[in-house]
Amino acid sequence: MTLIEEAKQLLGMSLTPEQDEQFAIYQRELADWNTRMNLTAITEPEEVRVRHFLDSLSIALVMGFDPGDKVIDVGTGAGFPGLPLAIAYPDVTITLMDATAKKIHFLEHVVNECGLKNVKLVHARAEDGGNDPTHREQYDVVVARAVARLPSLLEYMLPLAKLGGFCIAMKGETAEEELEDSKRALYMLGGEAKPIEDVYFPQIERTHFLVTVEKVKKTPKIYPRKAGTPTRKPIGF
């Protein structure tokens, strides 16, 4: 099946031929740049389509986006999940944040090649972004994939979310265990967890889990702590 067909069948999402072409450009440039720098271990076209593109777009199963919404992808790496969301939702502003300059350079290239006008790129650590008034509590939705265990990840994400906004962490089989370990972090950072949603992709017989957290209280100014601390000493540990 094509990406358009798979997005419709699995996610109920309608992509246009123009968006399909943008995904094709993204896939082409990812493969090209991956020969020169470490962007992804997933290289087979079908796996890229499912494990990167559809996987990223599955966030739409738990979160509806309105025109004008501001979304930030923390530790975006090669652009997942934020860049596929930017292609699928041209009326939503997507900020891609990463601490590695080479990856930001790659993303800038892809954004230009795809002609995307709704993407902003930020070269920064999440801890620094969360303490920057330009980004702190400015986003309707904060997303992240494969960045850190949830107790640490929430300290990166929740300071960026508006009061009443949401954080969505894409997780594997340890999702429930990580959420259980995050009770103290949720309390301290002002988050409230929603039921975990599972997403199954039959093409690769793989299930992943979406952990959604609503920001119900403002995050105390002491968070996030200085760079590296959330990973070395997660809240509650």
- DSSP state at residue 50: I
Q: Which residue range forms the structural domain that includes residue 13?
A: 3-232
Q: Which CATH number belongs to the domain containing residue 196 in this structure? A: 3.40.50.150
Q: Report residue 204's pLDDT band, with 50, 70 and 90 as the boundaries.
A: low
Does a structural domain hold residue 19?
Answer: yes
Amino acid, single-letter form, for residue 209: F
Strands 93-98 and 119-123, bridge-based pairing: parallel
Please tell me the predicted confidence (pLDDT) of residue 206: 76
Distance CA 137, CA 145 (A): 20
Does a structural domain hold residue 8?
Answer: yes
Does a structural domain hold residue 237?
Answer: no
| Cβ atoms of residues 209 and 198 within 8 Å | yes
Please tell me the predicted confidence (pLDDT) of residue 202: 82
Does a structural domain hold residue 33?
Answer: yes
Cα-based angle 158, 42, 195 (whole degrees, multiple of 5): 35
Please tell me the predicted confidence (pLDDT) of residue 36: 94
Q: Tell me the per-residue pLDDT of 94-135, one tens digit each, with 9 for 90 and over.
A: 999 999 999 999 999 999 999 999 999 999 999 999 999 999
Does a structural domain hold residue 54?
Answer: yes
Q: Tell me the per-residue pLDDT of 22-46, one tens digit each, with 9 for 90 and over.
A: 999 999 999 999 999 999 998 888 8
Does a structural domain hold residue 197?
Answer: yes
Structurally, the chain folds into a number of domains equal to 1
Can you give the pTM of this predicted structure?
0.96
Burial class (CB in 10 A: 0-12, 13-18, 19+), 139: buried
